[in-house]
């Protein structure tokens, strides 16, 4: 009997020990990762743009909850910074003498590597992220045909683009379908891809134009009629908007200087209708055409900045390094609301804020 009791006691000890180890292992597999970054803290709130992230301004380490970026935010960011690429490269080892590669790409400033990680997770962890030392950017790239068909194409079908990039997307889809059927390995299929690519993005290289008889496919017209989702606009602003401060001489001011806060979105003139939709969405601002092929949506009214712009981004926050510029912009706004910009002390504070924004931002003031 004593022998059996001893065996039972040892068995309970072992089970208890293993239970503790399993529980400990479970806790080490947390959903959180901690990384060095120059952006901001994001913590789980289940509200806002990413079912998960509420921005907390900081200048140090931050913990990021592994979750998915709102899909509309991703589409908006791709409308701003993404690209659908088709490369046709001379390769004598191939039967037709050419190699065809289709890829989805999204490049961001080196400070936004963390955001690219989140976007990659949103896409099912497909593709790779590369560093480009030439322009100090990170690029998220998906070129695997299965990844394109199973993740990338379905995403933009369900959450469609709103710029002229949508036309490029549907041309890209046709090429991916040809590649998926292996028809790019035939002369007919390769010619079809070349005809489609001639209407995609910037078109064909001079070498391809010289080596092939090109019959460009018709590029369809697209004009957006409404902003699909506020999260799309937040993602688009992550890539295309700018918060900045103008300080100019003013003989009417006691300090001799005037301060103006500016929120701006710039687009190619072909997307001026989209700027009009953004203007209508915010219910403020103005559209200004530049010389050449660009146009701006601009807001300078402090009342509009407070009630429309800052209120919007408080509800639908930015997720990348631009969030820091928004934070500084907001600090300058508070100084101006308190009439501090009319004093030398307040003006100098705004000058310091301005010097550390946008291209003036360094690792020391992140």
**Cα–Cα dist 224/228, whole Å:** 9
**Cα–Cα dist 1/9, whole Å:** 12
Residue ranges and CATH numbers for the domains of the chain are 70-211 (3.10.28.10), 237-365 (3.10.28.10)
CB 243 within 8 A of CB 329: yes
Q: Which is nearest to 228 in space by CA: 79, 358, 334, 124?
A: 79
pLDDT tens track, the chain, 366 positions: 444 444 445 544 444 444 433 333 333 333 322 222 232 333 233 233 433 333 323 323 233 344 579 999 999 999 999 999 999 999 889 989 899 999 999 999 999 999 999 999 999 999 999 999 998 999 999 999 999 999 999 999 999 999 999 999 999 999 999 999 999 999 999 999 999 999 999 899 888 998 899 999 999 888 889 999 999 999 999 999 999 999 999 988 888 999 999 999 999 988 999 999 999 999 999 999 988 889 999 999 999 999 999 999 999 999 999 999 999 999 999 999 999 999 999 999 999 999 999 888 775 455
| SS3 call for 291 | coil
pTM as predicted:
0.79
CB 234 within 8 A of CB 316: yes
- 10 Å CB burial of residue 165 (0-12, 13-18, 19+) is buried
CB atoms within 10 A of CB 183: 14
Instruction: Write down the pLDDT at residue 112.
Output: 94
**Cα–Cα dist 187/181, whole Å:** 14
- 10 Å CB burial of residue 70 (0-12, 13-18, 19+) is buried
CB 247 within 8 A of CB 297: no
**Cα–Cα dist 243/312, whole Å:** 14
């Amino acid at each position: 009997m004593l022998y059996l009791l001893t065996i039972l006691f040892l068995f309970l000890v072992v089970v208890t020990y293993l239970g503790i180890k399993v529980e400990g292992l479970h806790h080490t597999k947390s959903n959180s990762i901690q990384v060095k970054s120059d952006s901001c803290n994001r913590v789980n709130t289940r509200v806002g743009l990413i079912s998960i992230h509420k921005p907390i301004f900081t200048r140090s380490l931050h913990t990021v909850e592994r979750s998915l970026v709102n899909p509309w935010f991703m589409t908006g960011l791709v409308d701003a910074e993404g690209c659908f690429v088709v490369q046709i490269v001379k390769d004598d080892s191939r039967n037709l003498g050419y190699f065809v590669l289709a890829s989805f790409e999204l490049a961001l400033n080196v400070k936004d590597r963390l955001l690219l990680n989140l976007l990659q997770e949103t896409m099912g962890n497909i593709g790779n992220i590369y560093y480009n030392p030439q322009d100090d950017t990170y690029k998220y790239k998906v070129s695997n045909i299965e990844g394109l068909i199973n993740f990338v194409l379905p995403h933009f079908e369900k959450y469609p683009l709103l710029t002229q990039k949508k036309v490029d997307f549907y041309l890209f889809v046709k090429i991916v379908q040809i590649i998926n059927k292996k028809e790019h390995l035939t002369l007919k299929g390769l010619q079809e891809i070349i005809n489609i690519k001639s209407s995609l993005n910037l078109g064909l290289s001079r070498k391809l134009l010289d080596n092939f008889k090109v019959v460009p496919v018709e590029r369809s017209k697209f004009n957006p009629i409404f902003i699909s989702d506020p999260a799309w606009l937040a993602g688009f602003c992550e890539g295309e908007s700018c918060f900045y401060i103008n300080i100019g001489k003013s003989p009417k001011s006691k300090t001799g200087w005037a301060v103006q806060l500016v929120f701006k979105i710039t687009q190619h003139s072909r997307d001026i209708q989209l700027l009009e939709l953004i203007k209508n969405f915010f219910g403020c601002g103005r559209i200004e055409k530049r010389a050449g092929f660009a146009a701006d949506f601009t807001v300078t009214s402090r009342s509009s900045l407070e009630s429309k712009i800052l209120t919007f981004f408080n509800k639908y926050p930015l997720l990348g390094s631009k969030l820091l510029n928004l934070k500084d912009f907001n600090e300058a706004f508070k100084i101006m609301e308190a009439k501090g910009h009319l004093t030398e002390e307040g003006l100098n504070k705004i000058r310091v804020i301005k010097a550390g924004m946008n291209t003036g931002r360094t690792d020391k003031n992140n």
